[in-house]
């Protein structure tokens, strides 16, 4: 990890594209970043949801940053803390000059929660069209996948053409598609 940005921190200044990952507290953002980096414990994972309380910037080969945003929807955090995280994320989405894309992680086993819907709407209101990563794919039977993807599409009222990438931390299914999307859609534009 290169930079940690807390509530009072200034956003880092650099010229590398940033790809941000948003999602509920226990949806697997840190696990996804570890899988993308091909490292076991690059991003800290925890059995306790709500561990990421800062914006964490991970430098990838001096080419880009993967940005882990604080998780939302975790009940055991005070309202004051939740509000501070919200302000932190909002400031980042508004002020980052290098943010190229936001991936929104949704647990494929469940219909999107009210918090997921609010986050999706909020990201689009900031001018981004989030790519959906449907995590925890390995916990579903193959026959259930399309039905669950439909549930996510309908639950979030996704804009036509929005990408949904099913992802499994266990099998790494979806990892290459995510990298391909980052490279072709966002890195080439910024070169």
- Rounded percentage of the chain residues whose pLDDT exceeds 70: 80
- Rounded percentage of the chain residues whose pLDDT exceeds 90: 46
Which residue's structure tokens are 């080969």?
61
**Which phi and psi (to 5°) does residue 37 adopt?**
-85, -10
For 24, which DSSP code?
B
Distances (CA, A) of 136 to 12, 22, 83, 145: 31, 15, 28, 11
Q: Find out whether 72 and 85 touch, Cβ atoms under 8 Å.
A: yes
Tell me the pairing of strands 64-68 and 131-135. unpaired
Q: Find out whether 7 and 88 touch, Cβ atoms under 8 Å.
A: yes
pLDDT higher than threshold 90 for residue 11: no
pLDDT higher than threshold 70 for residue 43: no
pLDDT higher than threshold 90 for residue 44: no
What was the pLDDT predicted at 125? 86
Name the pTM for this structure.
Answer: 0.86
Q: Find out whether 34 and 40 touch, Cβ atoms under 8 Å.
A: yes
For 9, which DSSP code?
P
> pLDDT by residue (tens digit) across 143-158?
999 999 999 999 999 9
> pLDDT by residue (tens digit) across 50-79?
445 688 899 998 999 999 988 887 656 667
Q: What is the largest CA-CA distance in the chain?
A: 47
The model's confidence at residue 3, banded by pLDDT at 50, 70 and 90, is low
> pLDDT by residue (tens digit) across 88-123?
788 888 888 899 999 999 999 999 999 899 889 888
Residue-wise burial string across 27-37, b where 16 or more C-beta atoms lie within 10 A, e elsewhere = bbbbbbbbbbe
Residue-wise burial string across 126-140, b where 16 or more C-beta atoms lie within 10 A, e elsewhere = eebebbbbbbbbeeb
Within 8 A by CB and 6+ apart from 126, the residues are 93, 94
């Amino acid at each position: 990890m290169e930079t940690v940005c807390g509530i009072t921190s200034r956003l880092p200044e650099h010229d590398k594209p940033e790809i941000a990952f948003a999602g509920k507290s226990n949806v697997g953002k840190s696990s996804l970043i570890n899988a993308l980096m091909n490292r076991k414990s690059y991003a800290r994972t925890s059995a306790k949801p709500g561990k990421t309380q800062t914006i964490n910037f991970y430098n990838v080969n001096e080419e880009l940053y993967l940005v882990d945003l604080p998780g939302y929807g975790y009940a055991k955090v005070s309202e004051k803390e939740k509000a501070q995280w919200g302000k932190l994320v909002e400031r980042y989405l508004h002020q980052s000059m290098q943010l190229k894309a936001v991936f929104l992680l949704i647990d494929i086993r469940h219909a999107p929660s009210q918090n997921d819907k609010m986050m999706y709407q909020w990201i689009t209101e900031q001018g981004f069209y989030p790519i959906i990563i449907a995590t925890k794919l390995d916990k579903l039977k193959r026959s259930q996948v399309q039905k669950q993807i439909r549930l996510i599409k309908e639950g979030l009222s996704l804009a036509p053409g929005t990408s949904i990438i099913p992802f499994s931390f266990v099998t790494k299914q979806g990892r290459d598609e995510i990298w391909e999307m980052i490279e072709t859609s966002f890195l080439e534009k910024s070169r």
